[in-house]
Amino acid sequence: MIRQISVPALILHGELDMLVPLQEAKDLYHYLNSSKKKLVILPNADHNNIMFADLKQYFSEIEEFVQSTRLAKVL
């Protein structure tokens, strides 16, 4: 069903996540049918601390993705 998703998608995944394996995030990214998609693997982050492992990068990636999506709508 993931192949039917065509909206912009940002996937943030912790490099050390043992609950959801990294390969699942890579597969999700690969099979998304969106022309606007991004996979970010946060170093030294696991499933429970992904936001806090690098707070600045986490929110920076979200902001950058949202801004680029908004810009694409304007153009």
**Is the pLDDT reported for residue 73 higher than 90?**
no
37: domain range?
Answer: 2-74
Looking at residue 72, its pLDDT comes to 63
pLDDT tens string 11-68: 999 999 999 999 999 999 999 999 999 999 999 999 999 999 999 999 999 999 999 9
Asked whether 56 and 19 are in contact (CB, 8 A), the reply is no
**Is the pLDDT reported for residue 74 higher than 90?**
no
Q: Tell me the whole-structure pTM to 2 decimals.
A: 0.87
Asked whether 49 and 16 are in contact (CB, 8 A), the reply is no
CATH classification at residue 52: 3.40.50.1820
Looking at residue 61, its pLDDT comes to 97
| Whole-angstrom distance, CA of residue 55 vs CA of residue 16 | 16
Looking at residue 70, its pLDDT comes to 79
Burial label, 41 (beta-carbon count in 10 A; 0-12, 13-18, 19+): middle
| Whole-angstrom distance, CA of residue 40 vs CA of residue 51 | 12
Burial label, 13 (beta-carbon count in 10 A; 0-12, 13-18, 19+): buried
Number of domains in the chain: 1
